[in-house]
Each structure stands twice: as structure tokens, then as C-alpha cells.
């Protein structure tokens, strides 16, 4: 009788095996199971990357343009953010895919460098990858496509540069009103797609005024540390205002101190003493113990403390200060003495705020009472308390209308989410104005710049030989995605809108025709005054092309899973 054939067991992979011993000293082998390792390669890997990028872009696409929609993002701890700012949406989304994370970094780098155009850059990058996928399916090598895209991007940017308009032709000093008007319109374009678009005139004016107040005219640069964005829930967006000076979330230390301090008679300004030393009797820095054994000794200590307080206040009065700003707190005795000597005081002011006050008032931060002197005092035109509604909340304004070196944008709104979004919107428009001060060339928005570049690239495509021709055409098609998305979000027919724009730009040969998103009845972006800084558009094209090249070069993805025993 034939014996049943023994089934051979498959031998496990012993390359990673470990020899161990049990408690009796008997050896046994532990074999790692590596079945969790995943690998994608070749075309399959590229397709999965491009699909990941496409899915991220499809979420963000609908928030492009003035008719773009907002997204609600709920964090793991239940915090809600409502926004249509591309960088904010992507940074708060939890993404597993590594390629999707690259798109997040792409929009973050656009946000860090330029501050605006974070949605557009992701839309362009995704469109380039979509076009590349079609070419890969035709059998064209990915590096050839990437090289073609690089050439096309250079051509697109140089063509766009040739059709920019420079607003520094308008001299700063000669015609400042015209320049302000340009900056105002650019800031307004940036705010058009945000939640504050109902009051964008006010916010755009705030952005322009604050940048022009603190900008360095010689270097043509702006230090954003000098512009503080302060928020307070309550009121409406219309109540937001620009304060030339510093706004403190503090009040005077004693309720009987005056709520408004004006210059004394014969003086032009209010004098401020900015102190980082506490109103307290001196103590040894090391651990110490004080033994008091009699009433006389206690009285002596009390008298010493009182004398010290009086001495400190005398130093402040001798310097000629009207108001004391102190980094530390002080007890009731010091507070009472300050009130008696008619010295309004503010306590517990943070280090950063102290620096702001010192910059704004031209004062010096003084670490010791003995160092106080009239030349170290800050000067401002007035200090007053702002009161809000029925909550008895107060804030202090240190105002410096003439030649203020720092400004505060005070944003009000009905709830925290609106205020946060308004703050992000104002930051974007501040960045746009700053970019125009730095590089004053502008291009026209509403997709006009993209259509111009697309036409130039597709015209060049016909002159190319070989494979590059395909890459150039694909690049031109990718650029068309921006005007098409704008048209789609505005409820227009995307293909019809795009073909109308292209024919208009070709016939009249001027790069000002864009998508009429708000239904104003004109496609002329110069007439509607929809402008973007040139450096923002240039950065978008460059960053998107570089990211596309990087993704196309990846052909192997090895995901090492956790080893299981």
C-alpha cells in the first residue's frame, strides 16, 4: 500500500532569525515575519503618486477665487477652523500619503516666501502631474517630461516678465496717492476670496496704511514684527481699526487711576518709564531667613520697606515720567503710593510687548531705578483705556499718530472663527502689499496671467522638435486649469470661458483679459483692477514645476512595515 505523500512545509526565511533560550536553557529559533513590507515600482508607483496629488487638489480646488468656498476643519481635540486659505487647509488636514504631504509643504513654502497664492500653487502642481500622467501612458520617459516642463516654465516666466507693468514708474514722493491706489487695489484683490470680502475696502486700507507706516523706504522692505495683529471677540468686522501705536490687553493697576492720560501743560507728549525691575524692596538672590525677635525690629523693617518704596517712586518722579509700564507686578502698598503720587501704572506687561512699546515711543527699557533719566523715557501723544460692551473688559492704547514706528491692527468679529479667518486674510493682504513694495511689478489676475503664459508656451511648442513638443503642450494645458477652475467656481461654463479669453487675448494681443468671476460684465482686468504681484505668480510656477519634477523622478516606493515575530 502506497504511503500518503508527506506535505512539505515551506521553510521560513531564516536570514533574520534569532536564536533564544527558554527558562530551562533549551534553544529555539524566532523567525521574523516580513510579510508586511510593501513595494510599489514603475508605472504603478507614479500613478499612485499622481492620484494622491489629484485627491488633495480636488479638495482645495473649490476654494480658488472670489467665489471660492470655505472648508470646516475639526481638529482631534474638537477645535473648529473655518477657512479657504490653501496653506491653512492643507496644514490642518491629517494626510497619510507621503506625496500628499509634499503638496502641504509646497503650499507652506509659498506661504512663507510670498504669503499669498497658496491655493493656486497646489492647483497648478496637480494639473502638471495630471498632464504628465497622460504623457507617461503614451510611453514618454518621465525625465524627458520633467526636462520639458522645466524649459516651458522658464519660457512662461520670461514671457510673463515681458508683459508685467511696473508701478515704481510712479515715484513714491511725487504721486503717493496713485501708488497708494495701486497698493490698495492689489490688497483688495487678495481679500476678494476671503470671508472679509464684504468689508474688503476697510481691510485693504488697513493693510496699505500699516505697511506704509512701518516700511523702510531706503531698503524697500518691511519688518512684520512691527505690525501686530490683535483680536477681540465682539462687535462686527466693520468695527476693526488700525491703531498707530501699541494696544495692550491690560488696564491701569488701580481703578482710581485716570482712564486717559494726556500731556501735561507745557509739554508736547506723555512721558513713559519702561521698567523691567519690580516695585519691591530688594531681596537677596539666594535663600535667606530673617529672624525678627522684637516689635522694634519689625517696625524697623516696615520703615525700611516704606522708605524703599518712596525712594523708588522718587526716582520715577525725578526722571519726569507721567506713566509707568512695568514688566513685573507690585503689591497694594506700591500701587497705593503710585496713585498718591499721580503716577498711572500698568503691571505684568510681557517682554515682547515692552519691546513694542520701546520701539513705538523711542524709549529705553530700564533694568534699575537708579538708571532712570529723562533721556531714557518714551514719548507718546496719549494713553487711554478702551472699554468693550457690558463685559467691563478693558484694553490700553498707547497712541503715537505722528511718525509711529509700530502699528496694531485691531480686529473685531462676532465669533472666534471669523476673527481667526479675518486675521489670516489680513496677513495675506499685508504680504501682497509688502511684495509690491519689494518688487513693484504687477500682472493681471483672474487667470489673465495664466492664459498669457499658456498661449506663449503652446506657440513655442509648435517650434519644438521631438519629445519636448509634447511636454510644452502639456504645460500649456496645465496652466489653463487655473482660469477653468476660476470659471467653474464662479458658475460659468469653463471651456467656453477659456476659449473666449484665449481668442480675445490673441486678437487684441494684450494680456489683460481674465475670468469675470463677480459678474461685473467685463473681462478687462485692468478696468476691474484685479492685480497680483509678479513675484507671487513667478514663485507659483517655479515651485509647482520643481515639485512635479521631484515626483516624476520617483519610481520605487518601499514601505517597511513593522516586523512581527
Could you confirm whether 231 is annotated as catalytic? no
Average pLDDT over residues 227-240: 87
Average pLDDT over residues 356-369: 87
What mean pLDDT is reported for the chain? 84
pLDDT class of 478 with cuts at 50, 70, 90: very high
Q: Which of 111, 209, 420, 428 is catalytic?
A: 428
Whether the Cβ atoms of residue 459 and residue 465 lie closer than 8 Å to each other: no
Asked whether residue 363 carries a pLDDT value surpassing 90, the answer given is no
Positive or negative, the Cα torsion across 397, 399, 405, 411? positive
What digits encode the pLDDT tens for the residues 139-191? 888 889 999 999 999 999 999 988 888 776 655 555 567 777 878 888 887 88
Asked whether residue 5 carries a pLDDT value surpassing 90, the answer given is no
Residue 128's pLDDT is 93
Could you confirm whether 85 is annotated as catalytic? yes
- What percentage of the chain reaches a pLDDT higher than 70? 93
Q: Which of 81, 83, 119, 481 is catalytic?
A: 119
Rounded CA separation 301/444 (Å):
75
Q: Which of 70, 85, 516, 532 is catalytic?
A: 85
Residue 541's pLDDT is 93
pTM assigned to the model: 0.80
Q: Scan for cell 496645465, then name that residue.
A: 478
pLDDT class of 565 with cuts at 50, 70, 90: very low
Could you confirm whether 83 is annotated as catalytic? no
- Tell me the chain's radius of gyration from C-alpha atoms: 33
Give me the domains of the chain, ranges plus CATH numbers.
Answer: 40-166+446-560 (1.10.560.10), 245-284+293-402 (3.50.7.10)
Residue 480's pLDDT is 92
pLDDT class of 509 with cuts at 50, 70, 90: confident
Q: Which of 453, 447, 452 is nearest to 523 (CA)?
A: 447
Asked whether residue 545 carries a pLDDT value surpassing 90, the answer given is yes
Rounded CA separation 178/213 (Å):
17
Average pLDDT over residues 309-320: 86
Q: Which of 116, 89, 83 is nearest to 103 (CA)?
A: 89
What digits encode the pLDDT tens for the residues 336-355? 888 888 888 888 888 888 98
Cα-based distances in Å from 554 to 43, 96, 208, 467, 544: 10, 18, 44, 20, 16
Three-class DSSP labels, 438-491: HCCEEEECCCHHHHHHHHHHHHHHCCCCCCHHHHHHHHHHHHCHHHHHHHHHCC
Could you confirm whether 428 is annotated as catalytic? yes
Asked whether residue 404 carries a pLDDT value surpassing 50, the answer given is yes
Rounded CA separation 433/167 (Å):
12
Q: Which of 81, 118, 361, 485 is catalytic?
A: 118
Residue 171's pLDDT is 52
Q: Scan for cell 510673463, then name that residue.
A: 160
Listed in order, strand segments (DSSP E) in 154-310 are 165-166, 227-233, 241-248, 260-261, 270-275
Alpha helices in 62-164 (DSSP H): 86-92, 98-113, 118-137, 142-162
Asked whether residue 7 carries a pLDDT value surpassing 70, the answer given is no
Rounded CA separation 313/187 (Å):
48
Cα-based distances in Å from 374 to 186, 320, 322, 339: 44, 6, 11, 21
Residue 94's pLDDT is 82
Take residue 313 and report the three cell numbers written for it: 517712586
Amino acid at each position: 500500500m502506497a504511503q500518503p505523500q508527506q506535505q512539505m512545509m515551506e521553510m521560513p526565511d531564516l536570514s533574520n532569525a534569532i536564536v533564544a533560550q527558554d527558562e530551562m536553557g533549551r534553544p529555539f529559533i524566532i523567525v521574523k515575519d516580513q510579510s508586511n513590507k510593501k513595494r510599489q515600482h514603475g508605472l504603478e508607483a507614479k500613478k499612485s503618486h499622481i492620484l494622491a496629488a489629484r485627491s488633495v487638489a480636488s479638495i482645495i480646488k473649490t476654494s480658488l477665487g472670489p467665489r471660492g468656498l470655505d472648508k470646516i476643519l475639526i481638529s482631534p481635540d474638537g477645535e473648529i477652523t473655518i477657512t479657504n486659505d490653501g496653506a491653512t487647509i492643507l496644514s490642518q488636514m491629517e494626510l497619510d500619503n507621503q506625496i500628499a504631504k509634499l503638496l502641504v509643504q509646497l503650499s507652506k513654502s509659498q506661504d512663507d516666501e510670498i504669503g499669498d497664492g497658496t491655493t493656486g500653487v497646489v492647483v497648478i502642481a496637480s494639473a502638471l502631474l495630471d498632464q504628465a500622467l497622460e504623457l507617461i501612458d503614451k510611453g514618454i520617459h518621465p525625465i524627458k517630461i520633467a526636462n520639458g516642463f522645466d524649459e516651458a516654465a522658464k519660457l512662461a516666466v520670461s514671457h510673463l516678465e515681458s508683459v508685467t507693468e511696473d508701478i515704481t514708474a510712479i515715484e513714491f514722493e511725487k504721486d503717493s496717492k496713485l501708488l497708494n491706489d495701486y497698493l490698495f487695489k492689489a490688497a483688495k484683490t487678495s481679500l476678494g476670496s476671503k470671508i472679509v470680502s464684504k468689508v474688503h475696502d476697510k481691510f485693504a486700507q488697513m493693510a496699505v496704511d500699516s505697511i506704509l507706516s512701518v516700511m523702510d523706504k531706503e531698503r524697500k522692505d518691511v519688518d512684520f514684527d512691527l505690525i501686530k495683529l490683535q483680536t477681540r471677540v465682539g462687535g462686527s468686522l466693520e468695527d476693526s481699526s488700525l491703531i498707530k501705536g501699541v494696544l495692550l490687553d491690560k488696564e491701569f493697576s488701580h481703578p482710581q487711576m485716570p482712564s486717559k492720560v494726556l500731556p501735561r501743560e507745557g509739554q508736547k507728549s506723555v512721558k513713559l518709564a519702561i521698567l523691567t525691575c519690580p516695585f519691591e524692596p530688594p531681596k537677596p538672590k539666594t535663600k535667606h531667613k530673617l529672624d525678627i525677635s522684637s516689635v522694634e525690629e519689625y517696625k524697623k523693617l516696615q520703615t525700611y520697606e516704606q522708605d524703599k518704596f518712596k525712594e523708588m517712586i522718587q526716582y520715577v518722579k525725578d526722571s519726569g515720567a507721567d506713566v509707568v509700564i512695568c514688566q513685573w507686578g507690585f503689591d497694594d502698598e506700591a500701587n497705593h503710593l503710585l496713585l498718591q503720587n499721580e503716577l498711572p501704572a500698568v503691571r505684568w506687561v510681557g517682554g515682547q510687548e515692552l519691546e513694542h512699546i520701546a520701539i513705538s515711543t523711542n524709549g529705553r527699557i530700564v533694568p534699575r531705578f537708579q538708571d532712570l533719566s529723562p533721556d531714557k523715557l518714551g514719548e507718546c501723544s496719549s494713553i487711554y483705556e478702551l472699554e468693550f460692551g457690558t463685559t467691563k473688559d478693558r484694553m490700553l492704547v498707547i497712541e503715537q499718530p505722528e511718525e509711529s514706528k509700530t502699528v496694531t491692527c485691531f480686529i473685531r468679529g462676532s465669533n472666534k472663527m471669523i476673527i481667526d479667518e479675518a486675521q489670516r486674510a489680513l496677513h495675506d493682504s499685508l504680504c501682497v502689499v509688502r511684495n509690491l513694495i519689494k518688487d513693484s511689478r504687477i500682472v493681471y489676475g483672474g487667470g489673465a496671467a495664466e492664459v498669457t503664459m499658456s498661449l506663449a508656451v503652446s506657440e513655442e511648442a509648435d517650434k519644438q522638435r521631438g519629445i519636448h513638443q509634447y511636454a510644452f503642450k502639456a504645460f500649456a494645458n496645465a496652466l489653463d486649469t487655473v482660469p477653468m477652475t476660476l470659471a467653474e467656481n464662479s458658475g460659468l461654463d469653463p471651456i467656453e470661458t477659456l476659449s473666449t479669453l484665449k481668442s480675445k487675448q490673441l486678437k487684441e494681443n494684450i494680456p489683460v483679459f481674465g475670468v469675470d468671476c463677480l459678474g461685473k460684465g467685463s473681462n478687462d482686468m485692468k478696468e476691474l483692477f484685479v492685480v497680483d504681484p509678479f513675484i507671487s505668480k513667478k514663485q507659483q510656477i517655479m515651485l509647482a514645476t520643481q515639485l512635479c519634477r521631484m515626483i516624476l523622478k520617483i519610481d520605487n516606493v518601499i514601505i517597511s512595515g513593522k516586523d512581527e515575530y
